[in-house]
Structure 1
Amino acid sequence: MAAGRRQRRRRQRRGPGSSTSRELTQSQGNEKVQCSNHDATHMLVLSPDGKLSEQWATASSSCCKTRLVRELGDQDIVQISCGDQHAMALSRGGELFTWGENAHGQLGVGSLTASIPQPQLVKRLKGIPLAHIAAGGAHSAVVSLSGAVYSWGKNGFGQLGLGDTEDRDCPAYVRALEHWKTVFIACGADHTAVLSKEGLVCTFGAGGAGQLGHNSTQNELVPRVVAELWGARVSQVACGSQQTLVYVPSLDKVYSFGSGEEGQLGDERKPNQLIPLPINSPANTEKSCQENSTSQKVTGSITREIQSSVLCKMSKNSYLKEIATLKDEDMDAWISNSSLQHWELIKQNIRLIFSSEACINGSFLGKSDKHFKTSKEFSGVDMSEVQRFYEKIKKKPEVFQEVQKEIKKLLLSLSSSPISPENFRLYLILPFLLQDNDDSSFRSLSLLAQAITKLQPKALQTLEHLLSNLETSFFRRLVFLYQRVSQKNLSESVMDFCRRCGNILISPYGRNPREPETLQILQILYQVNSRAGFRVLAKNFYVPQVRDAMLMPFCFCAETPLWNLTKYPCIFNMEDKLLVYGIERKSIALRLGPIVYRMTAQEQWLFPVRRQCLLQDLWNHLNSASTQQFRSTLKVSFVGEMGQDGGGLRQELFSVAARSLCQPSSGVFRQLASGLLWFPSQQATSCEDTFFRIGTLCGMALYNSCVAPFPFPGALYKKLLGLAPALQDLEELWPAVGRNLQAILDEEDDRIFESLEMDFTIMEEGDSVVAVELKENGASIPVTKDNRKEYVDLYVNYVFNESIRKPFEDFMQGFLRGCPTEKWKMFLPTELQIVLQGQTKFDWHLLEKNVIYGNYQPSDKTIRNFWAVFHKLPEDNKKKFLAFLSGSDRISAYELERFTFSIVDPQEANPDEMYPCANTCSLILFLPRYSRKRILKKMLLCSIEHDEMFGLL
């Protein structure tokens, strides 16, 4: 009786908000874990089989009432924690449940309902693999396997570590502890303590009793390292109501700080201890440790009578079990065991892990601590471990099929708004477990693609960051998987279309392709790849089946749903893109004229110009043109000259105009030593309309399938397509500058930066040399090893964006006016450059192969002599001949493989007196028949336009 009274008095002395109590009892080799609130009136009892019970008792009575928490009856509970008036339970499947009082949002369910008696799933943490949970007075906190800390509930003293004092009703990420490698967390009444893998302790929240250990009584709104414990390598931490205990195994000592009233700190010192000091262990410490040495590891009670034994176990970490994650021994057991008894257990384990986002996200983390650096840039997944697991289970079909079955179920319930980078591991892991070339894997990949496309924009952006940092070999494999399933889906779409059209069940305009989400994923991967510098070749994204769809009648008209395929340009090769672009141009013309396409005068834009004042006439036409005229096909005529425009004359117009504008005497562009042109700085721009007109000219050339041979760098085409130029583009424009900037990025010697005396300015050349600051007060900011990346980025941005903002905006506005289409945006920058500037490298033997002969045979001696002489010409002279023949020394992208011209015998009576002449309108070379090679050489040396002469080797 006396002992009972003493126990009740001790219980009453603890007061409100005292530490959670956890006790370990032995029963025939099994464990039973108890967790109670401050006055033991509410207790959770976790049985050895993972079942959870609740007990209620009054402080004045030893009687208690027990009930099984039936709402969690189907859950295998591995961790429990009690706050003053709320409780938490973590299942082996990675789900966190809370119940009890919720006035401050301490249940984390997104509401402030006063009380919720039944356990509720904390949905906000779904998918995050939790390592440890803790309940405080009226707040809660958890830590993930990779050290991410989340907190919620009461925050009046900053106990959530979020930098403010606002309560939270949903879990919030404690950003101040990012990458801190947190492995353990404990909560007091109004303060929190966390432990890192390196043994450092951080505390935050209420500090009035010194419980934060910072030698003060101030509250801390953000986590702060306990400096007095620096270097001590703490192995465990526990919190009471207003006190904190830590254990340092190397010294075999327990340190305490905080309120010492009623002997709570274990000795007779002053009430409040502001810094950690060792506890004078009771005489029975050693004996108590020995008696409990065979017990499971425990954490918990701050009470004087058991603190020694508890803290002895703290040095060996917590008794707490973990959520289910895949281990090497699991894989080996699944592969090696085949008996029916073992198979049922294996299926249970597979179901437990692969039906849970959290369990999958907590697996495949590898053996090192790198996963503690998990962020939107780094997933923490060891992809080689994923591949190894796939290869192992692939050898065991029943295991592989069971894993696939559980994954398929899981894919139907993935969250669309994950809160942590740890959530996204799933999207990297699952594709590599679905590599099989069968319908089941294809269907699961399609379901995964649907889940990804439902992600919120910010979440999708995080996933893209993680994909961009995936190893190239795995990224390439990921592209292959989605390309393969896209091929299958598109093939089935084409077959469906044919079947429906054949049965005349629906309109011949078809329907959307099957599973367009896989195409969306392929396009996302393509965009990630392009931003990362094309680690994977663009051809790996190409889906050949798109050509089958394009060749079907009506299938690819701009009015059909299959036209939506053009939203995924990565699946088209350049030839397909040119075809799509041509279809779009034709559809624009069809809207101007009759339904059956036929070129009429109303659809043509008649464009007469005088050769001697070509630019003036060109600008006059553009200034007076209506928007509708730019949607028509250009028909050029040179005043006073014979011939109808079959494509050659309009090509000549763009070639001559570009050649004139590229002359240094024009003063339009900056002429660079690299041979390229670039815009002048905004200060040097003379005529406001100049670049608007040139942009219009380039847009017209693209719309009319002509070449505009301005020697622009690749950066221009990136900017046209909305992509950011990079340092490599600067090196193309100014090779020496680009190499110097790269050298700055590669330099590792701090002394070099000091000797360079560089700052955040750039010298702008114009009428005079002016120093331009790259950022505010840039002249006062030296370039160092730490900020060099920022300096290079700002330098590149200034050259390609800030310094030419106005002239490029004018150029872009004019380009969109001259080219009233959308599908040109499907091209890659390099492809758009070829389409607009033309191909400058040719297969001249292919050119010979494609020639059509009139009054000649390829075996005729004159023809053989012609090609023998032609192939001996220097490359520049061959291009001059091409310009003489077609109006341009470049071949259009439309004609790369099929450029054709005719060689015709004019059947002149006296061929010695006739030079070869070209009909540019129809690409015909009139070549008089003559057998002697000497005369043929003379013909090829003839004077053509502007007295340009061919030369010979």
Structure 2
Amino acid sequence: MDYPGKVSRQNSTPKDDFGNAATTSPSLSRPNSLAGTSVAVPGPLPANHVSLDATTPGPNGFSTPPSNTTMMIGKCMCCNSNLRFPVSVSCFRCTVCQTINDLKPTQQKGDPVTPLTLDRLRAMINTCRSNNNGRNSTNYDTLEQTIQKCFSNWYSLNESFSNASFEHITIISTIRRFLSSANCRSVTLEDCGVALDQVRDAYRILLELDIKKKRRYQVFDDYTRKSSTIPTQFSTRVSIPPQHSKTHSTVIFRRRVDLVNAFISFRLSKQQRAQAPNTVLSPAYETDWRISSAARVMALLFAANKQSYKIPLSEFYNTLVDYIDLIADFNTWEQRSSKFAFCQYPFLISMGGKITIMEFDAKRQMETKAKEAFFTILFQKRVTAPHLILRVRRDFLIEDSLNQIAANEMELKKSLRIEFVGEDGVDAGGLRKEWFLLLVRELFDPRYGMFTWDEDSNLCWFNPASFETSDQYYLVGVVIGLAIYNSTILDVHFPLACYKKLFNSPVGLEDLKVFRPAFARGLETLLTFEGDVETTFCRDFVGEYEAFGELQRIPLVPGGENKPVTNANRKDYVDRYVNFILNDSISKQFEPFKRGFNHVCGGNALSLFQPEEIELLVRGSAEPLEIEQLRAVTVYEGFREDEEIIKNFWSIFKSMDPIMQRKLLTFVTGTDRIPATGLANLALKISCLGDDSERYRSRHKLQSKLQRAIEESEGFGLK
């Protein structure tokens, strides 16, 4: 299963069930099939498997194989641990999870048992009721014997309630109702040994079994122990493809995600209860094969959700994961340790947790650059600034910024400082935010011609007819990378497709609908039109875009200007046109943009994010501004919260219209958008500098000063 941040794991030291090697931790690499054997799911030791009896008890109590026995190495089908066992045995017990692994499927013996069907069960129930002979209670002995006989035979159980159509899943809901009415206990894979190619449907059914939300932890633990053989098997040998999961309803799909997340939370909470309160969770989870198996299952559900967007990414987040030492987890993942790390499965980490990791990675790289500057001064007698200082003129903002970034290309991972030529001011963060704001505003100005804007979506896209050099687009990529690197929100109106392309994710018609909805609707109309497409639409295989008032026509295929669009080839035409808009026509503009972005942000921390999260990280959230919530997280220095001037400030802020509120937020923070993690993480601090605030005792005067500050917020001058 491929997903962002997934790394291969080194195989752990092999061991066997005979005490001949040290115990190893489960490996997270994809297990290799056992050479020359067919492998069944874990089950109890069958009576006819006596190959282990050839061994003799060793001094440690375990069976020891004869010295001339040929050994082989394989994977436990439950916990994925490396194991060593004799070639001659037909099954073995794992020393980690105690699951018995069948190397050869058990063969059907005795008289065949007729599989159960819903119609057969109903007929037997009706027969039992009709034969009660007037008794008050019905005798269901025949029904019980039939069910017991069928459920004690793995082949019959596997064939029961079967449906030839894989996509037809109504049988599952029927089975769920039957199991509920029969008050059956949870069926687990430890009850029988079944060949892998015959057990996929059993997994589908097991995932449908409901867990009562109000069960006690002990009961939940019993359930998870019974079904603990599912996860690793589910995600390795008999994994159900994401195409199946995406066909389920949103309710069922959400229930699956919640089930796996509940299991992970339960395992983590057990570790939390075992240690002191208010402390970071211990790294015991690194060797918990149950958590790693559950994460594998969640990876499949996450892949299915990407194919058919059913629930938002935030529903995959596990809150308890934020309580582990994420920095240590990130370091473990970077070192490619054999231990489990949540960074392998970043969809489980919340947005706040990922930002914590990214800020740590950025700070670490900044400190490295600062140390390099210090040693350069110390040993080479050459002065090097510990910060990246850009000195720019307001009238030549783009030119100066581009020239200085090009001259300091190897210093971009230092902490950024901005100086405006001819102005007095020390950059404590405000000048940097203003530089970002002004530069982005100028680069994305429609009059500059680098980007085109769609009136319906108010989103911009790369202009295929731009006369600007690749250096200008490289600068845009660097600026966006620097903003992420320096934790600054930008007013950039890129669609999600842009961030998908940065991650090399495929883009298509659904992405085109976001930033060119009218054009996308036209293409959909062409696809669904029931009449003659050729005579009605009169289109040929040519892509078009406007270049400063002139229409440019580019063939989508060789000779496309002479190839009409018909009912037979319209799907191919739409696919090529969408690819033309999103990829081919802007390749000269997008490639330098991507290169500039990766030059600053390329690294392991960024790979933890999804494109949707990067968009939120760059632009911030557009959620409504809740003044009371912002007030609750504001800190004061030199003021008390109950002072009159503070009350007046919040009263004025609250009375402003939404546009003025956003402008005031821009004046204070440099952007009118909220951080990706919400208002609770907006660091707003009101400080008293000297006695200046004494002049604003009246509400009217404070309001007029705020109004002036908002309207005249650009520039920095001392008089």
Fold similarity call, TM over 0.5: yes
The amino acid across from 1:380 in the alignment is E
Structure 1: gaps spanning 5 or more residues: 1-73, 75-125, 128-320, 366-370, 416-421, 595-599, 909-925
Determine if the alignment matches structure 1 residue 671 to structure 2 residue 456.
Answer: no
Q: 1:779/1:492 Cα in 2 relative to 1: closer, same or farther (>3 Å)?
A: farther
Q: State the identity as a percent.
A: 25
Determine if the alignment matches structure 1 residue 381 to structure 2 residue 155.
Answer: no
Determine if the alignment matches structure 1 residue 348 to structure 2 residue 126.
Answer: no
Q: 1:566 aligns with which of 343, 351, 365?
A: 343
Contact kept? 2:477, 2:594, Cα under 8 Å: yes
The amino acid across from 1:801 in the alignment is N
Determine if the alignment matches structure 1 residue 432 to structure 2 residue 218.
Answer: no
Which structure is higher in RCO with an 8 Å CA cutoff and minimum separation 6? 2
Q: CA shift at 1:701, angstroms?
A: 1.2
Q: Secondary structure at the match of 1:677?
A: strand
Q: 1:580 aligns with which of 342, 350, 357?
A: 357
The amino acid across from 2:188 in the alignment is Q
Q: 1:526 aligns with which of 302, 305, 311?
A: 302
In structure 2, the partner of 1:865 is 648
Contact kept? 1:334, 1:346, Cα under 8 Å: no
Q: Whose helix proportion is higher, 1 or 2?
A: 2
In structure 1, the partner of 2:313 is 538
Q: Deviations over 1:744-770 (max 9, x none)?
A: 3444x3257642223333323226423
- Distance (Å, rounded) in 1 between the aligned partners of 2:556 and 2:200: 36
- Distance (Å, rounded) in 2 between the aligned partners of 1:331 and 1:544: 44
In structure 2, the partner of 1:898 is 681
- Distance (Å, rounded) in 2 between the aligned partners of 1:649 and 1:445: 57
Determine if the alignment matches structure 1 residue 732 to structure 2 residue 514.
Answer: yes
In structure 1, the partner of 2:247 is 469
Q: How many residues align?
A: 572
Q: Secondary structure at the match of 2:427?
A: coil
In structure 1, the partner of 2:71 is none
Determine if the alignment matches structure 1 residue 550 to structure 2 residue 325.
Answer: yes
- Distance (Å, rounded) in 2 between the aligned partners of 1:637 and 1:445: 62
Determine if the alignment matches structure 1 residue 743 to structure 2 residue 525.
Answer: yes
Q: Deviations over 1:132-170 (max 9, x none)?
A: xxxxxxxxxxxxxxxxxxxxxxxxxxxxxxxxxxxxxxx
Q: 1:636 aligns with which of 418, 423, 428?
A: 418
The amino acid across from 1:937 in the alignment is Q
The amino acid across from 1:570 in the alignment is F
In structure 1, the partner of 2:475 is 693
- Distance (Å, rounded) in 2 between the aligned partners of 1:927 and 1:557: 47
Contact kept? 2:268, 2:285, Cα under 8 Å: no
CA RMSD in angstroms comes to: 4.1
Q: 1:484/1:859 Cα in 2 relative to 1: closer, same or farther (>3 Å)?
A: closer
Structure 2: gaps spanning 5 or more residues: 1-47, 49-103, 106-110, 129-137, 213-218, 372-376, 378-382
Q: Secondary structure at the match of 2:708?
A: coil
Q: 2:706 aligns with which of 915, 918, 940?
A: 940
Contact kept? 2:460, 2:493, Cα under 8 Å: yes
Q: 1:766 aligns with which of 544, 547, 559?
A: 547
TM-score, normalised on structure 1?
A: 0.53
Q: 1:891/1:431 Cα in 2 relative to 1: closer, same or farther (>3 Å)?
A: closer
- Distance (Å, rounded) in 2 between the aligned partners of 1:497 and 1:678: 52
In structure 2, the partner of 1:233 is none
Q: CA shift at 1:737, angstroms?
A: 1.0
In our comparison, the structure showing a higher alpha carbon Rg is 1
Q: Whose strand proportion is higher, 1 or 2?
A: 1
- Distance (Å, rounded) in 2 between the aligned partners of 1:812 and 1:563: 32
Q: CA shift at 1:658, angstroms?
A: 0.8
Q: Secondary structure at the match of 1:750?
A: coil
In structure 2, the partner of 1:449 is 231
In structure 2, the partner of 1:40 is none
Alignment of 1:366-445 (within 5 A): 371=164, 374=165, 379-382=166-169, 384-396=170-182, 399-400=184-185, 403-404=187-188, 409-410=193-194, 413-415=195-197, 424-433=200-209, 435=211, 438-439=220-221, 441-443=223-225, 445=227
Contact kept? 1:670, 1:679, Cα under 8 Å: yes
The amino acid across from 2:475 in the alignment is R
Q: CA shift at 1:619, angstroms?
A: 1.8
- Distance (Å, rounded) in 1 between the aligned partners of 2:485 and 2:713: 31
- Distance (Å, rounded) in 2 between the aligned partners of 1:906 and 1:583: 31
In structure 1, the partner of 2:399 is 616
- Distance (Å, rounded) in 2 between the aligned partners of 1:510 and 1:327: 43
- Distance (Å, rounded) in 2 between the aligned partners of 1:677 and 1:344: 70
- Distance (Å, rounded) in 1 between the aligned partners of 2:385 and 2:343: 26
Q: 1:781/1:479 Cα in 2 relative to 1: closer, same or farther (>3 Å)?
A: farther
In structure 2, the partner of 1:930 is 696
Contact kept? 1:581, 1:824, Cα under 8 Å: yes
